[in-house]
């Protein structure tokens, strides 16, 4: 069974600083990997996803993530954080075809942005 | 507008009083799913449906029921709610169950069981 670990429960960064959110996964085959963002009181919005090809994936809102098979990681990055990026971020690993549990989520990282 | 809708958005109830949370999508998606979100645990899948009349258990199905009589609707039923079902619930859908397919999430239903 797949699993996802987000080691940082809370992260605080200053506006304009760079950001890296960590995600480690456990999966027995080539994974499908996702990052979702949840703004306060909102549902989940897909930031980006990886399932093949270039290991550096570009997403919306200036985010990117890099898949590193050797480290079983899929860390999310942004070069310059904006106050509106304050939210909770979830990493998820996707199951293959015909497996009903399509997504397994990490516990989430709550990002706070200092002015 | 393509979306997943859930009702109600907020619900306070008492132990043992049956309730239903509705979920509807207007994207003709085959796959629908229910998750619950609890602090530090992320989202955990309750039930999913691969198509009409096809449903199956996720990771935490105890105390919940679902049905899929129409493609667009996937209600979550709590026959006898208990306080440990206090949580934030999300419905999601995707066009198929093919791996890598994007899931679209509803806005969430916050449930408090007293």
Nearest to B30 by CA among B49, B17, B13, B47: B49
DSSP A31-95: PEEEEEEE-TT--EEEEEEESSS-SEEE-GGG-EEEEEGGGTEEEEEESS--GGG-EEEEEEEE-
Put simply, whether B5 touches A (Cβ < 8 Å) is: no
- Give the gap in angstroms from C-alpha A20 to the nearest C-alpha of chain B: 19
Taking chain B (114 residues) in runs of 10, the rounded mean pLDDT of each run is 92 97 96 92 92 92 97 97 97 81 90 97
Instruction: Give me the pLDDT at residue B67, please.
Output: 96
**Cβ–Cβ pairs < 8 A, chains A and B:** 69
Instruction: Give me the pLDDT at residue B62, please.
Output: 97
Q: Is the Cβ pair B42, A98 closer than 8 Å?
A: no
Judging contacts by C-beta atoms under 8 Å, the chain A residues touching residue B94 are 102
Determine the average pLDDT of the residues in A31-36.
Answer: 91
Select from B31, B90, B100 the Cβ nearest to the Cβ of A32: B100
Determine the average pLDDT of the residues in A46-73.
Answer: 93
CB contact set of A111 (below 8 Å; sequence gap of 6+)? A11, A12, A13, A19, A21, A81, A85, A86, A87, A88, A89
């Amino acid at each position: 069974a797949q699993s996802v670990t987000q080691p940082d429960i809370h992260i605080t960064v200053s506006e304009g600083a760079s950001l890296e959110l960590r995600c480690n996964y456990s999966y027995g085959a080539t994974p499908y990997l996702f990052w979702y963002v949840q703004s306060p009181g909102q549902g989940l919005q897909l930031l980006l996803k990886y399932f093949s090809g270039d290991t550096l994936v570009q997403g919306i809102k200036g985010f990117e993530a890099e898949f590193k098979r050797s480290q079983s990681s899929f860390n999310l990055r942004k070069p310059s954080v904006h106050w509106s990026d304050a939210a909770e971020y979830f990493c998820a690993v996707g199951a293959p075809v015909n497996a009903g549990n399509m997504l397994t989520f990490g516990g989430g990282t709550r990002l706070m942005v200092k002015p | 507008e393509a979306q997943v809708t859930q009702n109600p958005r907020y619900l306070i109830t008492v132990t043992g009083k049956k309730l239903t949370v509705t979920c509807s999508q207007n994207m003709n998606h085959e796959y629908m799913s229910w998750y619950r979100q609890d602090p530090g645990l992320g989202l955990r899948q309750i039930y999913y449906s691969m198509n009409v009349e096809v449903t199956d258990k996720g990771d935490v199905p105890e105390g919940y029921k679902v049905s899929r009589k129409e493609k667009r609707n996937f209600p979550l039923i709590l026959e006898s709610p208990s306080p440990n079902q206090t949580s934030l619930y999300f419905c999601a859908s995707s066009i198929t169950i093919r791996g890598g397919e994007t899931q679209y999430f509803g806005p969430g239903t916050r449930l408090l069981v007293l």
